[in-house]
């Protein structure tokens, strides 16, 4: 049953059930028609609202079916707000990981105007810190050899690289040894090394107030 017809059905129920002429059968039948429509509607709304959260879950390496089930279950339990902030321009719902990072376990560097991420060299094929939280407006400086470890804004998804041209990290940054990016607004910003992403050289900045 579609949305607009549901409204008509509800008003019919109210009218018919207070009118003795109508039998119990009619009331019961209408109630049966209306009730499932409400349930279906929330399910459908969750499916729409949680698309990004599901994609992010998959991008973080999760199996699509499992990501879908978990995300939709959370949406039905906690309401649509559970998926309201799933896009890369907002924060992740807790429990969802991207590039091996999850906001609640990420290094909390909020409140600092400037943060440095080191990579390569003595650290090997990784970023330090790899998973971190910063406040909106923070300047994040990546320090290391970009020619060996080109930096790209984006996520690793199902074993593949998914560059995000809209990421403040953009990229690839493949020359020089230091580059500073300003992260202006609350966002989930995964990044990776274009050469070593698939062997785990990746991370994510969670920008949160």
User: What is the binding site for Cu ion (CB under 5 A)?
Assistant: 149, 193, 195-196, 201
- The span from the CA of 113 to the CA of 179, in Å, is 15
Total H helices, total E strands in the chain? 5, 10
As measured in angstroms, the least distance from the Cβ of 128 to Cu ion is 13
Q: Using the minimum distance from each CB to Cu ion, give the nearer residue, 74 or 196.
A: 196
- The span from the CA of 189 to the CA of 206, in Å, is 6
Q: Using the minimum distance from each CB to Cu ion, give the nearer residue, 103 or 120.
A: 120
The CA distances from residue 175 to 50, 93, 107, 120, in Å, are: 38, 35, 27, 14
- The span from the CA of 100 to the CA of 198, in Å, is 12
As measured in angstroms, the least distance from the Cβ of 149 to Cu ion is 3
Q: Using the minimum distance from each CB to Cu ion, give the nearer residue, 19 or 177.
A: 177
Q: Using the minimum distance from each CB to Cu ion, give the nearer residue, 49 or 204.
A: 204
State the burial class of residue 37 (Cβ atoms within 10 Å of its Cβ: 0-12, 13-18, 19+): middle
Cis peptide before 197 (omega within 30 of 0): no
As measured in angstroms, the least distance from the Cβ of 123 to Cu ion is 10
- The span from the CA of 112 to the CA of 106, in Å, is 15
As measured in angstroms, the least distance from the Cβ of 111 to Cu ion is 29
As measured in angstroms, the least distance from the Cβ of 35 to Cu ion is 56
Q: Using the minimum distance from each CB to Cu ion, give the nearer residue, 52 or 164.
A: 164
Q: Using the minimum distance from each CB to Cu ion, give the nearer residue, 123 or 195.
A: 195
As measured in angstroms, the least distance from the Cβ of 129 to Cu ion is 16
Bridging pattern class, strands 107-108 and 160-163: unpaired
């Amino acid at each position: 049953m579609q949305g607009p017809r549901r409204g008509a059905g509800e008003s019919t129920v109210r009218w018919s059930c207070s009118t003795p002429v109508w039998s119990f059968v009619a009331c019961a039948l209408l109630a049966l028609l209306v009730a499932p429509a409400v349930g279906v509607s929330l399910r459908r709304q969750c499916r729409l609202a949680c698309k990004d959260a599901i994609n992010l879950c998959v991008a973080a390496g999760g199996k699509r079916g499992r990501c879908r089930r978990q995300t939709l279950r959370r949406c039905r339990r906690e309401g649509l707000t559970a998926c309201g902030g799933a896009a890369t321009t907002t924060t992740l719902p807790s429990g969802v990981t991207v590039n091996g990072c999850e906001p609640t376990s990420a290094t909390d560097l909020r409140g600092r105007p400037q943060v440095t991420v080191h990579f390569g060299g003595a650290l090997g094929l990784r970023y330090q810190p790899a998973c971190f939280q910063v406040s909106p407006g923070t300047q994040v400086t990546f320090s290391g050899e970009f020619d060996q470890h080109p930096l790209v804004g984006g996520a690793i998804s199902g074993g593949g690289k998914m560059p995000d041209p809209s990421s403040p990290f953009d990229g690839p940054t493949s020359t020089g040894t230091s580059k500073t990016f300003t992260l202006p607004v609350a966002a989930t910003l995964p990044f990776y090394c274009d050469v070593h992403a698939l062997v785990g050289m990746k991370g994510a900045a969670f920008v949160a107030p």
